[in-house]
Structures are given as structure tokens and as C-alpha cells.
Structure 1
């Protein structure tokens, strides 16, 4: 018989101990699995980073090849640049170990230069350039943007770049952008990339998609040097842009470009002698804007290496020898 004053016997603790051990094992398994997963992720990230670094090195090598080819092209004929040789828009596959590299060179001046919306005055300040504004409105109308919306975009883009804080009628300056839900400021300087246009008053995603193939941001406040020897038939809107006061028939312009002599027009008077162009009475700014020689080139490079893909776009300045890369952009929009 047990002593009535003694404490009751404690229940066996074997089950509690086993449960505790099982819980500890489960927690350790989860920690180990998480650590292993993170280790695998870190390993993949490191491998991807190495692939991206190597792919970028191959892209820079493609730049060197492209600049050498462009120097040869420019040196071959000091008077004009033509499409002979099939250099423009033709993807060239470059051999690289463990992947593929594709480089495509195009005329980088056959576009509307957004930075031409301003010009420098005697003090070095940027002021709006009326003829470029007219050209930009005309281009936008030609590609399907209504005149009222086009005018707002053109004047706002000029205000985005010009040096003052006084908006052009229809445009927008700091006061407009500061009043937005997420405020920001225009740079009041030349655009570094055409993609800046997306931040300008009036530019919707739909308008940006319409304009993206036609605009560029050359690092000069000058009208784009349109090379009539490399302008393609489907780029007729750029020809219509040159004569903003007229109504150029796009089909006639496209057909005219398709009939270009194989060796180029040889002289600008030859190009402008077409009756349908003469009757539109192009202004002197337009006739001097056209060129026979390409001054700017773009390089698009796509490097695929392992599971990584790197895209690069570079702007190449060929105004004087040696040609040089002015900027490069990486990413999906490149």
C-alpha cells in the first residue's frame, strides 16, 4: 500500500520525449531543405551572372567587329553611303563558343531626332525649333496620331528639353509634372534615349508603340541627317515628314524609293528632281537636311549563352574617323 502522504506517481515521459525528438527532426529537415534550396538558387544566380558577364563581353566584341566594318564601308566611298553590299538590316551570325551571337547594323540617322525639337541660342540655352516641331507633328499624323494629340506631344517634348520654365502653348513644364500623382521633373536638357518620350505629357502607351520605330535621340540639337540612298520604301513617312506643309502621297514616295538607282542618286538635286516632290515646294531646311552619306549607325546585338540572353543597342558616330561608339543600352528595349 502506498503512503497516503507521498506524491502520486508521474506518468511515463517516453511518448513526450519521442514527440519532441520528432518535432526537432522535422524543424531541422525544413531548415536543411531551405538552406539547400537557397544554396542551389545562389549557385544558379552565380552561374547566370557569369553567363551574362561573358555574353556582354561577346557583345562588346561584336561592337568591335561592327565598327571595323563600318569604317570599311565609310572609307569605300567618301561621297555617299548606299545599300550595296547588303549591310543594312541583315542579321549577321557571329561564331562564339557555347552559344550564338547575332549582330544587325542599320542607318541610325533615318529617324526623327527628338533633340532637334530645340536649338541652341547665342547664350548656349536650348530654345524650341519651329520647323522641327512641324516635322514631328507631320510624322505623327502620318503614322496615325490625330493632329491635336500630335501637337500636344510635340510641344510638350520640346518643353521637356528646352532650358526655360515657360510652357509653349499646348506644352508642359515643371508645374504640370509636379502636379501628377507621382510627380517628377523634366530634365530641360537633350534626351539621352528616345524612351524618355514615354514620360512626356500626352504620350500614351499606344502612341509610344506607334512612334517607337520612327524616333531617335541623337546627341545633337540638329535635324536628323536623312540619307536618301539608304531610306527604305517602308520608311516613306520620314520622306513625308521632310515636307510638313505638303501632303505627300505615301504610295508614290514608297514607289520612288523602291526605284532608286542601285548605286544611289549620286546627287541631292537628282533626288529632289522628281515632279511629285518639286510640286510640294520643299523648304531649304528639308533639302539641306537630306544627305547622301550616313553619319550615324545603330548596332543591335543579341547574345544567347546557356540560359542567358543579352540584348544590346549601340549608337555609332561615323561623322569622322575613326568611328566610335557613343552609347550602348542593355535590356529588353535595347
Structure 2
């Protein structure tokens, strides 16, 4: 057998080295994918566990709401220090907090329309109240009126613009064309799609608006409306008609056990002088039907923020969750 030439031995060595390099790349890729797969599985398990904890928080909140309403069917008050107070929930290998808000005390975007046998028609009172709220929050009245009208056209069923409003043509010309929804708002964040609602406008409004699953004027509970929520009381009247300091002062004087009577609430000179319409008087309540639960669950390296809308009407039917949403926090 002839000995291998030096050039042949070099080629063989090069081939072996090439094979080793290829095998090393394959091994590294396989290990990397295995690590990624393990991480994804771990994150998926953590996410599923965190969601289970939010379900548990919802169950606790539903039970507490039912106890709150059973205490006094005639009125929902601040008794029990339940409003806006973060509650810690014990969980293994992490932490969780839950905060309950009165979701009646907000501007209901779906009050911009009324339901007429399945068709949604513009509601001038709701449009005016949204304008008043925006003015109370520091927005120019003309800008506020245009946005409120555009939001009304977003929710109503027809394709004819209301005064100062816009319909499909205004959205077709966008960089990414789309159409008006022509249905009730499903979530307050949907307002960001409405003509004229810039990020700055939405940032100013997002803590004051909601999308209750009904086209009714915002059902404010004056037994739980806080002084710092004075713009919601001012929005019941024409833009600028009710002074914010007057509204704040009146809410601060609320009896500790609630008003007990709507007559007692409206009898105050500062309100009677404003001559509220019967429609406005009818939207003021002493009870609450909607509650918003905010949860934050930290589990392992994951932090999950959630929101759940709970409805407790009609009493004595069990309270129930009507929608929920989740988002990760950095």
C-alpha cells in the first residue's frame, strides 16, 4: 500500500476539521433552541399561573361586592374603605395586589348614543357632557366639541355626520385607511381611533372615561364620587357652567353615611341654582352597579397587570365578570 502523499493527508485533515466545525454549529444551534424552548415553556407556565391568580382575585372581589351591596340595597357608600385601596393577596413565590374602583363614576362613551330598536342614534346630551368634561379637564371648547361629535359618529349606526362630526370619509384618507365602527365602544382605548384624539388628548381623558355595556347616560353614584372627581359632576351641565371648586367643595361636604336621598342631594343651593334637567337628575344614583378591578401579579420574572369589569345588577343576582384584559409590565 502506497503511503499517503502530504497533500492528501492535508486534505483529509481539512475535511475532518470541517466536519467538526459543522457538528459544533449543529450542537450549538440545538442547545440554543433547547434553551429557548425551555424558557418559553417556563414563561408560558408562569403566565398561566399568574392568570389563575387574577381569577382568584376576581372571585374575592365578586364576593366582597355582593357583601357590600347586601349591606344596604338602597345605597352604596364608602363604608368599609373599599374604594381605591390596594389589597395584598398572599400567593406562593410572588406577590399580588388588587384594587377596586367604582366603574359607574366615569364618562360612559356609550352614552353618546341611544338604542332605538337595535339602531344607535346620536344622543345630544351625551355629546354635550363629553364636551363639558373635556373643558373641565382643560381642553379648548371648540376642540372638545369636535372630538365629542366625532366620537358620537363613531358609535352611531348611520353614516351621516352630526354637526362638527366625521364619518367614513375622514378615516379613508388616513395612512392606513379604516372605517368608523358604527357600534358601541367595546373598550375605552377604542377612543384613540376617533378623529382628533391625539395621544395627548387620550392621556388626559383615559382616567375619566369608560365603556359600559349599555347606551345610557353615565350613572354617577354621588355617594362614592370623590372630591378629586369634581369634573364628572361639572360635566352634567353646559361647558363651564359649574365651577370646579364649587363641585369639589360640595362633594367634600357629603355626609359620611351617604346622602340617603336624591332629594337631599339636589336640594343644595349650589346645585338647585344650576337648574338641572330631569334627564340629568335621572342619571344620578345612590347605588353602584359596575366595578373595575385592577390586579397586578408578580410571579417569578413575570409581572402581569389585569383589569376586570364586574357588574352587580340586577340585585340580588350574583355579581359577574363581563370582560377582562391583561398586559405585561416591564
Could you tell me how far apart the structure 2 residues matched to 1:244 and 1:293 are? Answer: 25
Q: Is the 8 A contact 1:304 1:310 kept in 2?
A: yes
**Structure 2 counterpart of 1:115:** 110
Which residue is equivalent to 2:305?
311
Query: Mind listing any 5+ residue stretches in structure 2 that lack a counterpart?
Result: none
Q: Which moved more, 1:149-158 or 1:218-227?
A: 149-158
Q: What's the counterpart of residue 84 of structure 1?
A: 79
Distance 1:26 1:97 in 2: 46
Corresponding residue number in structure 2 for 1:204: 198
Tell me by how many angstroms 1:246 deviates. Answer: 5.1
What is the CA–CA distance in structure 1 between the aligned matches of 2:5 and 2:35, rounded to whole Å?
48
Task: Pick from 229, 234, 245 the counterpart of residue 251 of structure 1.
Answer: 245
Deviates more, 1:160-169 or 1:127-136: 160-169
How far, CA to CA, are the matches of 1:30 and 1:211 in structure 2?
54
Q: Considering only CA atoms, is the larger Rg found in Structure 1 or Structure 2? A: 1
Map 1:33-182 → 2, pairs under 5 A: 33-121=28-116, 123-182=117-176
Structure 1 range deviating more: 16-25 or 204-213: 16-25
Question: What is the distance in 2 between the residues matched to 1:255 and 1:97?
Answer: 45
Out of 228, 234, 238, which is 1:234 matched to?
Answer: 228
What is the CA-CA distance between 1:289 and the residue it aligns to?
A: 0.9
> Gapped runs of 5+ residues in structure 1?
1-8
1:21 alignment partner, one of 16, 26, 37: 16
Paired residues, number: 324
Distance across 2 between alignment mates of 1:157 and 1:137: 11
Match of residue 328 from structure 1: 324
TM, length-normalised to structure 2: 0.94
1:273-328: CA deviation from partner (whole Å, max 9, x where unpaired): 22222222222222111111111111111111111122211111112221111111
Deviation at 1:64, TM superposition (A): 0.8
Give CA deviations for 1:28-71 in whole Å, capped at 9, x if unaligned. Answer: 22221122112111101100101101111111111111101100
* Structure 1 contact 246–280 (Cα < 8 Å) conserved: no
* CA contact 1:243–1:283 (8 Å) conserved in 2: no
| Match among 287, 290, 294 for residue 293 of structure 1 | 287
d(CA) in 1 for partners of 2:52, 2:7 = 69
Does the CA-based 8 Å contact 2:131-2:144 persist in structure 1?
yes
Cα displacement (A) at 1:147: 1.4
| SS of structure 2 residue aligned to 1:105 | strand
SS of 2:34 mapped into structure 1: helix
